[in-house]
Amino acid sequence: MSTMTLAKALNAGLRRALDANPKVLLYGEDIGKLGGVFRITEGLQKDFGEDRVIDAPLAESGIVGTSFGMAMRGYRPVVEIQFDGFVYPAFNQIVSQVAKFHNRTEGRHAVPMVIRIPYGGGIGAIEHHSESPEAYFAHTAGLKVVTCSTPNDAYWMIQQAVASDDPVIFLEPKRRYHDKGEVVHDTKPLPLHQARVVRGGTDATLITYGPMVKMCVEAAGIAEEEGRSLEVVDLRSLSPIDMVTLTNSVRRTRRGIVVHEDVQTLGLGAEIAARLSEDLFYLMESPVLRVTGHDMPYPNSRVENDFLPDVDRILDAVDRSLAY
């Protein structure tokens, strides 16, 4: 067991993946000598060489397209998209080629590649550096979409994603890169697509993922001081969604509140609310509520805290849910 930041845990997980399989390659802008803008790949080119940790030109479509070709030839490329808002030039490659190829070849060819995307706000960045594109990819059949929230999950989930024969969009909450936590090296991790009950409770379930997990745990702590017991579930996997864990939790609490940074309309919260309503309609005491970013382009850094969900907005939703 060791204590490290989420960023260092990702670095350690990638190092272990590179060690375990010579077919694993890293490819992206500035990931080699610089170690990436967030230093996630720091030191890896020095230790594994320029033919396995490869600095790419500034061309996201070319990066993903080249990595797609590598995956077709039996390699396991791990792509880094420098910031969330920079993934869109590669969108056609991802949704038209990477996501479809296994089905197009009737299962004869796998696409074992990982696309790492730092995402979300809270770092005071400029335009196109604080977006939440998860719904685009979760909507696309053929892609797996996961996101970590703790160093331990970061360490294990990146290795599981690299080992997967399916293409995985690996979302990294950039505001949590420097959060520290324990990493257990000699344990059997949760399956990649299984949700995790972070905190038990009886009055309502907070359903969240990535950067908002820490915020929901904080809100649950404050609610406990007020005599309310909130369960917190970290989805971890956004496609597929572990509905078994979610329905079991909401079956107990009879109330669900989804919290995410992405905008509300057609976000992950809408899908979760619909499926919980279909499965548990006659058991629930109130409708599934959503606490999300607002339906607008991500604002400039001076007002981003007014856009992002916070503890007050979460607790207000709890009040409304319990009032039904």
d(CA 17, CA 319): 45
Domain boundary among 126, 153, 183: 183
Residue 260 annotated among the catalytic residues of the structure: no
Is residue 295 domain-resident? Answer: yes
Q: Does one domain contain both 295 and 205? A: yes
d(CA 45, CA 149): 26
**What pLDDT is stored for residue 288 in this prediction?**
98
Task: Report the pLDDT averaged over residues 275-284.
Answer: 97
pLDDT band at 268 (very low <50, low <70, confident <90, very high): very high
d(CA 50, CA 292): 41
In the predicted structure, residue 129 carries a pLDDT above the cut 90:
yes
Q: Answer positive or negative: Cα dihedral of 53, 58, 61, 65.
A: negative
Q: Does one domain contain both 104 and 228? A: no
Domain boundary among 125, 153, 183: 183
Distant-in-sequence, close-in-space partners of 204: CB < 8 Å, separation ≥ 6: 228, 230, 231, 253, 255, 256, 257, 318, 321, 322
In the predicted structure, residue 122 carries a pLDDT above the cut 90:
yes
Is residue 188 domain-resident? Answer: no
Q: What is the CATH number of the domain that holds 153?
A: 3.40.50.970
d(CA 40, CA 35): 6
d(CA 296, CA 154): 30
d(CA 137, CA 110): 18
Q: Does one domain contain both 127 and 221? A: no
Task: Report the pLDDT averaged over residues 66-83.
Answer: 97
Q: Does one domain contain both 144 and 174? A: yes
Q: Which domain holds residue 301?
A: 196-323
Structural element, H or E, at residue 306: helix 304-307
d(CA 96, CA 110): 15
Encoded amino acid at 54, one letter: I
The closest of 182, 194, 238, 212 to 12, measured between CA atoms, is 182
**What pLDDT is stored for residue 33 in this prediction?**
95
What is the number of structural domains in the chain?
Answer: 2
- Pair 215, 259: CB distance under 8 Å: yes
DSSP H helical segments within 212-290, as ranges?
213-225, 243-253, 268-280
Q: Does one domain contain both 146 and 232? A: no
Angle between helices 268-280 and 243-253 (to 10 degrees): 60
- Pair 256, 288: CB distance under 8 Å: yes
245-266: pLDDT as tens digits: 999 999 999 999 999 999 999 9
Model pTM above 0.85: yes
**What pLDDT is stored for residue 92 in this prediction?**
97
Q: Does one domain contain both 298 and 224? A: yes
pLDDT band at 69 (very low <50, low <70, confident <90, very high): very high
214-253: pLDDT as tens digits: 999 999 999 999 999 999 999 999 999 999 999 999 999 9
186-210: pLDDT as tens digits: 889 999 999 999 999 999 999 999 9
- Based on its alpha-carbon atoms, the radius of gyration of the chain, rounded to whole angstroms, reads 19
Is residue 289 domain-resident? Answer: yes
**What pLDDT is stored for residue 222 in this prediction?**
98
Catalytic residue (choose from 128, 129, 185, 294): 129
Q: Does one domain contain both 144 and 208? A: no
Q: Does one domain contain both 161 and 288? A: no
Cis status, amide bond into 173, omega within 30 of 0: no
Q: What is the CATH number of the domain that holds 204?
A: 3.40.50.920
Q: Does one domain contain both 49 and 114? A: yes
Encoded amino acid at 249, one letter: S
